[in-house]
Amino acid sequence: MFTVIVYDIEKNSKRNKISKILAKFGERVQKSVFECDLSAQEMLNLKKALSQFDYTDSDSIRFYYLENSSVKRIEKIGGREVNLTKDYYVA
């Protein structure tokens, strides 16, 4: 499923480690935003990798799951094209 993952992590060292993990699963589209097209198993693996950290109340990782109809409606201004690895089409 196509997922937008955003994060806000207070400590630089933890933030860098999290961004490296996310980069293995998707494409960075902004400093704290990744777009990922993951199977259910890949999502489990990602969440397992992210669960190794101790999170404070000021830390946050959010997952926004997009259905096919929503993926087709992605719009952008500037930057690279949306990288879709499965059978999604942007109109």
Q: In this structure, what CATH number is given to the domain that contains residue 27?
A: 3.30.70.240
Which pLDDT tens digit goes with each residue over 38-74?
Answer: 999 999 999 999 999 999 999 999 999 988 778 777 7
pLDDT above 80 (res 26): yes
Residue 90 lies in a domain: no
Give the global pTM. Answer: 0.81
Strand duo 27-30 + 33-37: pairing: antiparallel
Residue 77 lies in a domain: no
In what helix (H) or strand (E) does residue 3 lie, and over which residues does it extend? strand 2-8
* DSSP per-residue string spanning 5-71: EEEE-SSHHHHHHHHHHHHHHSEEEETTEEEEE--HHHHHHHHHHHTTSPP-TT-EEEEEEE-HHHH
Residue 83 lies in a domain: no
- Domain count within the chain: 1
Residue 13 lies in a domain: yes
